[in-house]
Amino acid sequence: MEQKREFTHIVDVHTHLSDDLLIKDVGEIIQRAVQQNVYSALVVAESKLDFQPILDLHHRYPEFVLPCLGIHPIQKSGKKDEKGIEIKRSVCPSDYDGVEEWIEKHLDLVGAVGEIGLDFTPRFCPLKEDKENQILIFSKQVQLAERLHLPINVHSRSASKQTIQLLKEIGAHNVLLHAFDGRASTALQGVAYGFYFSIPASVCRDEQLQKLLKVVPLDHLMIETDSPAISPVKGTVNEPANAVISCEYIAQLKNVDIQTVKHMTTTNAMKLFPKLATLPCQMM
């Protein structure tokens, strides 16, 4: 009888390694992650401009990087405010031009469609038309993932109920909801549909996430960082090595040992994202 594999490492299922804050030191960042037993990461896109850099990262670090390509509900406008900060806007249909062709062309490398979803934050999405465009682009990407038999890596902010409901209506099967900001009761609806939830290291300072973590069972949880954002220490640059903080916090809150958390969350990741098994580090 074949013995079940016991996973002792961590998978960061949602990070932005191609971000300007990380890319310049990405080799050292990956090395620090591996030192913390974070052996692989799903690197997600936000716009088409991220697609090639993420694929390039995979070719440079094939043992660590699993590409996820998709269009985020919030996009850069190309403009800056008086403080020099990038102004963001809600996604529009033209942002999706060519996305399906990109993903289909590189299907053998793409581990998931993401980062996709809904973000109804009023300052980014003030108009009814903005919400309609987000729903349109999100729906198209979920349907694409279903057609190509790919999982989805989902963003939901100020739109938790709408996101869960839309996923149910479309009939999405392989779903990860990252850094979910909805109520614990809404998350449990997702659990009932078979969805997974990933917990970032910022859980240590996020009461809403802590409430979610208390009710979502371990067999529906994964580990993420969303680096360089939502660091466990506010105002600092996050990185995949901090995924171990999520593990430690989950172990403490669930009253289980950290090895159980590593094994269960990595088992969940390997189940939802089967192309993780093709990375060299997973075959060791």
And the tokens for 252?
Answer: 């403490």
Beta bridge partners of 80: 86
Residues of the binding site: 14, 16, 115, 155, 178, 226
pLDDT at 2: 46
What pLDDT sits at residue 282? 53
Compute the Cα dihedral for 176, 180, 104, 282 and give only its sign: negative
Query: Which of 25, 82, 13, 75 lies closest to 267 in space, CA to CA?
Result: 13
Handedness of CA 62, 108, 144, 185 (dihedral sign): negative
Q: Locate tokens 């960061």: which residue?
A: 12
Beta partners for residue 196, in sequence order = 176
The tens digit of pLDDT for each residue in 76-112 reads 988 887 777 888 999 999 999 999 999 999 999 999 9
**Binding site members for a divalent metal cation:** 14, 16, 115, 155, 178, 226
Among candidate residues 102, 146, 138, 110, the one with its CA nearest the CA of residue 273: 110
| CATH of span 10-283 | 3.20.20.140
| Model confidence pLDDT, tens digit, residues 110-147 | 999 999 999 999 999 999 999 999 999 999 999 999 99
pLDDT confidence of residue 281: 64
**Domain map of the chain by residue range?**
10-283
Q: Are 16 and 229 in contact (CB under 8 A)?
A: yes
- Nearest CA to 178 out of 75, 281, 278, 68 is that of 68
Q: Which amino acid is it at 241?
A: A
> How much is the mean pLDDT over the chain?
95
> Does position 156 have pLDDT exceeding 50, yes or no?
yes
Going by pLDDT thresholds of 50, 70 and 90, the confidence category of residue 9 is: very high
